[in-house]
Structure 1
Amino acid sequence: MDGHHGTGPDRSGTGPRAAADGDPQPDLPRWLDRTRWLWPALLTLAIVLVQIDRAPLWRDELATWSAASRPTGDLLRLAANIDGVAVAYYLLIHGWIELFGDSVPSLRLPAALSLAGAAALVAVLGGRLFGGRVGLVAGLLFAVLPSTSRYGQEARPYALATLFAVLATLLLFRALDRPGWWRWAGYAAALVGLGLSHLLATSLVLGHAVAVGLAWHRQTDRRYARWPLALVPAILVLAPLAWLGRDQQARQLAWVRPPTLTDLPDLPGDLLQSGAVGGLLVGLAAVGLLTRGRRGVALGACVLLPAALLYVGGLLTPLWVPRYLLFTVPFGCLLAAGTLAPLRLRRALPIVALAGLLGAPAQASLRRTHETPRSAPIDYPAATRIIGAGQRPGDGIVYSPRDMPGFLDVAVAYYLPDRRPRDVLLVEGPVATATLEATECPLPAQCLAGVDRVWLLTRGVHPTDPLTGVTRPKATALRDNFRVERTWTVPGLTIALLTR
């Protein structure tokens, strides 16, 4: 980005161009420099794959399974009503399920692979900007973060967006170093992938604008004017999704509250899944922002400007969800590694290890549950095991609540795919409604007629009266016609067997 000063292009990341911002950059051994992308990728996989199937699918992942397991036509009908901005990701997982099945590890593996790829690209990008050693440290730092494990073990598109964010930034700097139509075309394609994986991640373009502006200021080159043209394909492809998402936003994000000033200091910890790790990374990255020259400023813009946009946008409309900023974390790692540039590798690696040690409690807890807060897990598998073991032919089941945040019916469908009680109040399922929700019988007493045993699954723990959390008229129909024979509680859920 800073242009050339009498030197030829240096692709190793350890020569004169990589050291343009001033600090001495001791070379890595040649074999390590050439493979610096491999070790962060392997470390990421080694950490993320540990107990990848231990935490139960949580509601967002159940939504992914519900959408992606539908026939393609039904999936497209769903996108017209809800989650339209995620339709490309759902189609990807739909194809993945066709090939590899829908077990918990299978559903989560694309995210794990995406973040392993992102870690590799962080090492490549860091080497291009600051030297191979900085790139290696940045990639390893990214690998040990709790947020990498958290979203590498989640069947949602945030990991894929992070991969495309690093790829697009790498291709941008390649195009700025040697502007050419094919390089700009690759950058444009990466932006399209970024927006299709997560529309809000395209706010990264704000940071890219700063990088282009600094490069143009450093070395006037008319070919830099091609950057706005590279945005055109993304605009054309993503504009319809943005319009669709605008119409669906009120329904999908009604639960999101506006941010307050107190949310800003909590953001690093919320995003990285650990306050201690967040504090360490922010401190190191802040020094890197101030000391790494124009490239440090550009990377800082890739972190700060998307966060500022999400905050301001969240004041106007429901948007403030910290995990939406996961794609900015790699750039914070690059800045932090840049701060460690004066240290030799053997002295920088203990700081990476420190970040891993500080994040160890979060690493353990996120493998127990993906719910927030982690002190309130919801154990769908345990509940379905109870129902599966105790059910008899002719049994019915009733859910409360039956809305999207609950996804109780989807959880039972996932964990009891072949044999489960009849959904006695069901009128139309999610596929028929082309949404993520079902519609229920308006007259529960009539629909319960002819059923002698009913399983009741409710959110929350109600050991003394399982009907406490059931709304009318459903609760009235159950109380008038059934008695509670037995009640079980598991984390976050109550299961009851009612007999007529």
Structure 2
Amino acid sequence: MTQVSALDDSIEDSRIPGRPDGGRHGRGARARGALVVAVVLVVALGVAVRTFSRSALWLDETLSVNIARLPLPELFDALRQDGSPPLYYLLLHGWMAVFGTTDGSVRLLSSLFSVASLPVAYHVGRRFAGPRCGWAALVLVAVNPFLVRYATETRMYALVALLTLLFAWAALRVAHSPTAGRWVLVSLLGGIMLLTNYWTAFTLAAAGLWVVAEAIRRRRPRLIGQLALAGVGSLVVFSPWLGGFLFQLEHTGTPWADRTNWTAFPDTLRDWGGGQGWVAGGMSLVVLALVVLAFVPWRRRDDGPELRTVSIALLVGSFGALLIGVVISWAIHSGYAIRYTSAMVVPALLLAAVGAARLSGRLRLGALVVVGLLGLGMSVPLPFADDRTQGRDTAELIAAGAGPGDLVLFCPDQIAPDVNRYLPADLDQAVYPTLGPPERVDWVDYTERNESASVVDIAVAASQRATGRIWLVTSPGYRTYGGQCESLERVLGALRPGGDRVQDLDDHFFERQAVTEFPARTTTAS
């Protein structure tokens, strides 16, 4: 009843003053009914587009599956080479033990996390600024293309978004009544976030800095002590993985990415709205406009006394955290991927919901209608796209022609896992430059290993290993390889003349592969 009354309030705000009562209640009832249907439809579509995807699993998803399926001791060792914390992989490990490893089943875990975020978003928004804010938060989260995209990906980002919402809820409870039990919950959630994705540290750091500033402004030194204890508690929760984290910090990093730069900001805002195109641009602009409205200096009669404080906290937790993350990544010459910001898009959307809640009835409804249309315009096509990787097509082509004694050789190794997933298990496969197995990528000292590789030696070893044909799978433009993959193709062509390009790169896909077939080894060629 409370939720329906909040919708009623939206309609009540939009009534035109001065009209006689006759007929007004009938029109209001019809409008309320239409609004309820519209919200239910938007949320239903938001749920539906989170539950499936036509695309094959791309590199990151396949790595998640291949690591999570390992026995637990091996799983932790594999993560040391991968560069991620363990919690999501442990959850996926248990999930796959029950539901299997098909594309649909491994993605469903993220779908459930994302769907669970919707009622939490409503509840958190309602706690922040009342029922209107709750409904606005629900719509904004339901149709956000960024969150929809990662609801159908076998990675930790949907879980990160859910945990961030839960952390916001727990932090708000502490703000209202800072009991020991509530601080423990905040501390526990902070540690769990760190065990899920390292970039959540920037959100937690931004939140901590804001609390310190508020404590100083309000002359509440005890609050700083409570915050410090909560931070220590989060580190205690994280501590079982501390050794793995320190190893990753020294040996893995992001060798696949360029150094972070200032374009991270506009790129992130664009991708939060869905990526390229005028619809995505419009979505981003509307959300930013709602964010600005949260700070416009007018007061509604139902603005709570803490609304501005809440808005500043959300601003710091979203854009402030993004600034901290980008600056630190740039300073340590680390790479950046927009998917890391799943802990930052959530407070940004909550802040936009605060802005929407401050509008009058018709303006608020109009803004949410625009958000819903633009968001669904970007989100509804996402499950039907098959553009993440060419890997399944590549595997089908090779499987149709490969025979005993053949070798599938991948250069670089980063294109191997998602092709390997769809290849027959008995087909010999290896990656450049290690000639090791294709299921995972070893990121340990990655740049140094690739730069010291000998193309000729590796080509000769691969040619000697394969008594049948060699299927060379390549893709250009990967960092740390230079022209090694092109050189490998030329050397193999000299060792085994008569190579034939049987598949070209397809620009439709994010991850694309070319395939060159080299004939079986002859006595002369060897």
* TM-score, normalized by the shorter chain, greater than 0.5: yes
- The SS at the match of 1:70 is coil
Matching of residue 201 in structure 1 with residue 200 in structure 2 = yes
Q: Aligned-pair distance for 1:354? A: 1.8
Contact 2:145-2:272 within 8 A present in 1 as well: no
Q: Separation in 2 of the partners of 1:239 and 1:256?
A: 28
Q: For 1:456, what is the secondary structure of its paired residue? A: strand
Distance 2:177 2:349 in 1: 25
The one-letter code sitting in structure 1 at the alignment partner of 2:48 is A
User: 2:177, 2:14 → 1: CA distance?
Assistant: 23
CA distance in 2, matches of 1:315, 1:433: 24
1:475-490 matches, cutoff 5 A: 475-485=490-500, 487-489=502-504
Correspondence for 2:149 = 150
TM-score normalised by length of structure 1: 0.79
Match of 1:288 among 287, 294, 305: 294
- CA pair 330-146 structure 1, distance change in 2 beyond 3 A: same
Per-residue CA distance 1:350-409 (angstroms, 9 max, x = gap): 4333224334564367546697xxxxx64111111111222233332222223xxx232x
Aligned 1:329-408 pairs, distance under 5 A: 329-343=345-359, 348-359=364-375, 362-363=378-379, 366-367=382-383, 378-402=389-413, 406-408=414-416
Runs (5+) with no aligned partner, structure 1:
1-11, 30-36, 372-376, 462-467
User: Letter of the aligned partner of 1:282 in structure 2?
Assistant: L
The alpha-carbon deviation at position 208 of structure 1 amounts to 5.0
Q: Report deviation, 1:414.
A: 0.8
Distance 1:218 1:485, change over 3 A: closer
Q: Specify the SS of the correspondent of 1:139.
A: helix
1:221 shift after superposition: 9.8
**1:417: how far off?**
4.7
Distance in 1 (CA, whole Å) between partners of 2:314 and 2:94 is 35
Q: Report the secondary structure of 2:86's partner residue.
A: helix
Q: In the alignment, is the contact (CA less than 8 A) between 1:69 and 1:94 conserved in 2? A: yes
Give, in angstroms, the shift of residue 284 of structure 1.
Answer: 0.9
Could you tell me which amino acid in structure 1 is paired with residue 357 of structure 2?
A
1:430–1:262 CA distance, 2 compared to 1 (3 A): closer
Counterparts of 2:4 and 2:381, CA distance in 1: 39
Q: Counterpart in 1 of 2:515? A: 495
Equivalent in the alignment of 2:108: 109
SS, match of residue 252 in structure 2: helix
Letter paired with 1:357: L
Partner residue in 2 for 1:374: none
Contact 1:484 1:498 in 2 (8 A): yes
Match of 1:154, SS state, is coil
State the distance in 1 between where 2:438 and 2:393 align. 24
What is the aligned partner in structure 1 of residue 50 from structure 2? 48
SS of structure 1 residue aligned to 2:357: coil
1:233 & 1:121 partners in 2: Cα distance? 24
Secondary structure of residue in 1 paired with 2:195 = helix
User: Aligned partners of 1:134, 1:14: CA distance in 2, in Å?
Assistant: 13
Q: Measure, in 2, the Cα distance between the counterparts of 1:434 and 1:484.
A: 29
User: How big is the shift at 1:248?
Assistant: 2.6
CA distance in 2, matches of 1:486, 1:349: 56
Aligned AA (2:514): T
Per the alignment, do residues 360 and 390 of structure 1 end up closer, same or farther by CA in structure 2, a change over 3 Å counting?
farther
Contact 1:169 1:208 in 2 (8 A): no
SS at match of 1:197: coil
Count, aligned residues: 463
Q: Percent identity at matched positions?
A: 22
CA distance in 2, matches of 1:389, 1:158: 36
CA distance in 2, matches of 1:167, 1:417: 42
Which structure 2 segments of 5+ residues have no match?
Answer: 16-28, 30-38, 275-279, 298-306, 478-482, 507-511, 521-526
Residue in 2 aligned with 1:464? Answer: none
Amino acid in structure 1 at the alignment position of 2:373: L
Who is 2:265 aligned against? 264
Q: Which residue of 1 aligns with 2:474?
A: 458
Report what 2:125 is aligned to.
126
Could you tell me whether the CA contact under 8 Å between 1:284 and 1:339 is conserved in 2?
yes
Deviation at 1:268, TM superposition (A): 0.8
AA of the residue aligned to 1:307: L
Contact 1:62/1:407 (8 A) holds in 2: no
Is 1:179–1:224's contact at 8 Å kept on the other side of the alignment? no
Cα distance, 1:297–1:423 mapped onto 2, change above 3 Å: closer
Distance 1:64 1:382, change over 3 A: same
Counterpart of 1:63, as a letter, is: L
Residue 317 of structure 2 is matched in structure 1 by 302
**Matches of 1:473 and 1:328 in 2, distance apart?**
42
1:471 Cα deviation from its structure 2 partner: 4.4
Match of 1:235 in 2: 235
Q: Distance in 2 between matches of 1:265 and 1:277?
A: 14
SS at match of 1:483: coil
SS at 1:310 equivalent: helix
Measured after TM superposition, the shift of residue 346 of structure 1 is 6.8
> How far apart are the structure 1 equivalents of 2:221 and 2:104?
48
Question: Do 2:187 and 2:234's aligned partners in 1 also have CA atoms closer than 8 Å?
Answer: yes
Question: For residues 433 and 476 of structure 1, what CA distance do their matches in structure 2 show?
Answer: 24
